[in-house]
Amino acid sequence: MKISIIGSGYVGLTTALALAHTGSSVILLDVSEDRIVSIREGRAPFYEPGVDGLLSDHIRKGSVRATMDYQEAINGSDLTFLAVGTPMDSDGRMDASYIKAAARSTGEAIARKGVPHIVVVKSTVLPGTTEGVILPILKDTGATMASIAMCPEFLREGSAMEDALHPDRVVIGCLDDTTFTTLKELFEPTDSRVLRCDPTTAEMIKYASNSFLATKISFANEISRICEVTGIDVYDVMEGVGMDSRISPQFLRAGAGFGGSCFPKDVSALIRAASDKGMKTPLMDSVMLNNDIQPVHLVDVMEEKLGVISDKRILILGLAFKPDTDDVRETRSLPVAKELSTRGGVVGGHDPQAGPNFATLMSDMRIFKDLDEAVDWAEVIILMTEWPVYRNYPFGEKGHLLFVFDGRRTIDPKRLGKIGYWAMGSPL
């Protein structure tokens, strides 16, 4: 099929490469000239394992190309995915300005083209957006020949390419049989389970999925704090809990909380949307509260173990919200760094990929490029992201280190020698 994708971020670019891999011809559109130049040169505008190799291959073959011209994108395709960002605004609500602008420009191009065209919302949008916002915009532009659908993404950053190539399910929210058949055929090579529903249900499936996973993480973290004061290791507890086939062990690893581009903004947006309709959300409110508690709790334990934080050189290892990405959106390393600074700590940081991005969030914090230099500088280590390079690092050979605090249960304490060690969820 001939596909155009509006937006070349994690969702847009990985979707483009997955579709090109199964035989489609894809045009990527972005309003950022820097991103378009990068894509044309075969370089992803973000770090994600496996993307650069596939991108350079498909750019060379011509199966993926990039443009800033909406008319070129629409004229060269029969189906368009809207994959622009829907970030969280200052009030925690979904910011729909980008997808509204993309829908309008897409609709205007379809109207000028004057032939039937399918528009598929891939962005994460609140229930009712596809039919209540995007479809009216398309009609207002004169694109009355456009049919619409909602097909949410379920990508994990760090594993986005694998998830795009081999999704565990494809949800198609549409209003007519022709659109459903077209999309089902498009994703047929993935051999995934397909669920057909209406667009509003598809939108809610995405929010419900992310909210449930965030809830599992916050539940594990609250149990971990109880385990700490009762002398129990939460990882032993969650191993037993996860053996229950009704629960599964995934997302039960206690740590410093969840971050990234999805969970925080999606849970917050759903809370705000419910509040706007007069509904209370006590469970999801507590999920967000728990996530805010966990980084401060980690610093509280550090202060208790060290006696004093003031003037100690504290190195945060891992600045991205998870390994295998350079994404620092809602990373739990940021509230930890701010809390340490507030209490007088001298804070530095290192990350294999995310250092430059984190520097834009906390410009007064020293960011090390070299791991050895960073560890030699530090008195105290706090591990926040489980990059493999940290798991295998010889901390035990660094006699000057006082303590290692493991926020992700990554380091083997047996390799630390006489260095103090504490992991979140272990007895205090």
CATH of the domain at 348: 3.40.50.720
Are 179 and 234 in a shared domain? Answer: no
pTM of the model: 0.94
Q: Which two tokens stand for residue 38?
A: 């990068």
Q: What is the pLDDT of residue 71?
A: 98
pLDDT of the residue at 144: 92
Return all residues near 417 (Cβ < 8 A) that are at least 6 apart. Answer: 396
Give me 93's structure tokens: 């609500």
Which pLDDT score, from 0 to 100, does residue 244 have? 97
Band the pLDDT of 220: cuts 50, 70, 90: very high
Among 164, 197, 230, the domain-final residue is 197
pLDDT at 222: 98
Are residue 270 and residue 385 in the same domain, yes or no? yes
In a shared domain, residues 159 and 307:
no
Residues 208 and 93 both lie in one domain: no
The per-residue pLDDT of the chain, averaged, comes to 96
Residue type, 63: S
Question: What's residue 221's pLDDT?
Answer: 97
Whether residue 113 is found in the same domain as residue 229: no
pLDDT, residue 255, reads: 94
Strands of the sheet containing 380-383, edge to edge, are: 366-368, 346-350, 313-317, 380-383, 403-406, 420-423
Residue 190 shares a structural domain with residue 202 = no
Mean pLDDT across the stretch 175-180?
Answer: 96
Please write down the HEC assignment for all residues of 43-65: CCCCCCCCHHHHHHHHHHHCCEE
Q: For 107-143, how does the pLDDT look when each residue is reduced to its tens digit (9 = 90+)?
A: 999 999 999 999 999 999 999 999 999 999 999 999 9
Whether 262 sits among the annotated catalytic residues: the reply is yes
> Strand 313-317 to strand 193-197: parallel, antiparallel, or no bridges (unpaired)?
unpaired
184 with 242, same domain: the answer is no
Where does the pLDDT of residue 182 fall: very low under 50, low under 70, confident under 90, or very high at 90 and above? very high
257 shares its domain with 383: yes
Domain count along the chain: 2
Beta carbons within 8 Å of 84's beta carbon, 6+ residues apart? 6, 7, 9, 12, 98, 99, 102, 123
Say if residue 222 is in the same domain as residue 172.
Answer: no
CB atoms within 10 A of CB 346: 19
- Amino acid 141: pLDDT: 97
Task: Say what the pLDDT of residue 171 is.
Answer: 98
Amino acid 289: pLDDT: 97
How far does the chain reach from its first CA to its final CA, in angstroms? 58
- Token duo for residue 82: 């809207």
Annotated active-site residue in 151, 174, 227, 262: 262
Strand partners, 148: 119
Of 197, 226, 258, the residue at which a domain comes to its end is 197
Q: Are residues 103 and 30 part of one domain?
A: yes
State which H helix or E strand residue 423 sits in.
strand 420-423
* Residue of 202, 318, 190, 313 whose CA lies nearest to 257: 318
Mean pLDDT calculated for residue range 233-245: 97
Structural domain boundaries, residue 300: 198-428
Residue 200 CB neighbour total at 10 angstroms: 17
Give the pLDDT mean for 379-392. 96
Is there a single domain that holds both residue 264 and residue 245? yes
Which domain-ending residue is among 154, 177, 197? 197
Same-domain status, 122 and 247: no
